[in-house]
Amino acid sequence: MLVACTSETEPAPQQSPSLPVDASEYQAPEQVRNATYVWSAEPGIDLLDNRGKLIRASHESMMIAFYGGIETTYPGFSNAIDPRYARRINTIATRALVGTIRAHLLQVHQTEKGFNATVCIQPSHYAVRRDDGQYHTVHGSAIEERVEFNHPTAEDRDLARVRPNVPPSTTPRPPSPPIADATHQWSAPTEDVFAGTEWLISFGADLGDAKKRCEEWGRSIEPGVPDDGAEFLVSPTPPETLPAYPGW
């Protein structure tokens, strides 16, 4: 992720398993509440079937983890994420995500272990509110990311016994300036979409042809981005938050 995957990594401590959360009562953490996802997909890919929901929920949960922590992600995700990836997540809870994340499901490929999905992210319409109170945006084409769904091996099951699930934190978050509620807010599933799937979920880059296709898609919806690289913009005003699509 443009914000998430470039973060510094730190080992996460092993914790006791978290208590189950009723999905119907789940609320996204305040760090992402004023942001939304607007999804699209290539022809033939259904955002609303079981696989489409699983891909969307995984990517959205990954984004939440970098701002609110794994314990604040969608119900079931902390049990599904690969512990090796989870340990690399460096949550910065004093930052907040605001605006609209444009995401495009480019392709889904079967693999020997399960399947992979390529997601393109266009970053120009969301910002990160940092400790300075300013909204930082990367105005560029699109970034490609791979979401991996694998059947767990025996080694994976051993790792799962010490996966870094964490209960809701009792440690006070560092104070940060409040954000006025956006007209449209984060949309979250009202059911545990990971229940019974038994996938081990991880994330990575999807280079090559997928990288080029994501860049082309990004420019198709945001033609004014720089030809090469990106512009780094800072503003005292948050970007507009559009209604989530297709939502939950």
Judge if the upstream peptide bond of residue 246 is cis by omega within 30 degrees of 0: yes
| pLDDT score for 180 | 62
Helices (H), 93-202: 154-160
| pLDDT score for 174 | 45
Q: Determine phi and psi for 82, rounding to 5 degrees.
A: -65, 125
Cα distance between residue 138 and residue 107, in whole Å: 24
| pLDDT score for 154 | 73
pLDDT in tens, the chain (248 residues): 444 443 344 444 343 344 455 778 899 999 999 999 999 999 999 999 999 999 999 999 999 999 999 999 999 999 999 999 999 999 999 999 999 999 999 999 999 999 999 999 999 999 999 999 999 999 999 999 999 999 988 777 666 555 544 444 444 444 455 566 767 999 999 999 999 999 999 999 887 899 999 999 999 999 999 988 899 999 999 999 999 999 99
Strand runs (DSSP E) across the chain, as ranges? Answer: 35-41, 96-110, 114-122, 126-129, 135-139, 143-150, 200-204, 231-235
Q: What's the first-to-final CA gap in the chain, in angstroms?
A: 22
Domain ranges of the chain: 23-235
